[in-house]
Structure 1
């Protein structure tokens, strides 16, 4: 452990860790995904297209011309059927991560997406399989 005044090249530990993370090739830059928060947006998505999959259910809708049409918006939900708060939060964390990785490249601008977690499958399914499920669901919804 180094004393507080002995940081190499005058950088603090938090700056060094931020530099180390940003130089990793597998970390993508932050994208312009907006998060759905209003109940009305979730209800509109529920009336639109949906694609059930083994790890989650995808609901998708194209926003109307009078709504803000720029960017991709995404929402996440897990009911109490998924489990206790710990299980629901774990499932939503996994859904957020696959959305962060897949939607910027394969989602469409001006669309809203809602990912709904499934009881045991969302938390236990292989992460690569979840990503492939999202790719397949997006392809089916956009056909």
Structure 2
């Protein structure tokens, strides 16, 4: 089995409560289910329940809560050398709206490039580990 890394990364980035992605072993494609329905016609009549119950044919990708975005944010803060920036970011991460406040603070501190590079590396690690665990060969770049 083979998958493009970009397809897995895009799926991880788009994972929400209402979007579920599975890898089809047969077509070697990442399939999107939105609110329980297949978003395209790649595999007609396939339901999310069928896909999740057929481990011989489909492998679910990590869901939003398996990705641990909050942990990725904490790891980023721990990598910062500037203690004031780190403290400001940590303070933004408490309570309701923590993700929004964190991203706003990253922008105010002009750390966007560093944050998004860190986040992309973390997601790539999750994607590659998922592929290895499931015996899927990863193609990093389209040639």
Alignment TM-score, normalising by the size of structure 2? 0.28
Tell me which structure has the larger Cα radius of gyration.
Answer: 1
Alignment TM-score, normalising by the size of structure 1? 0.28
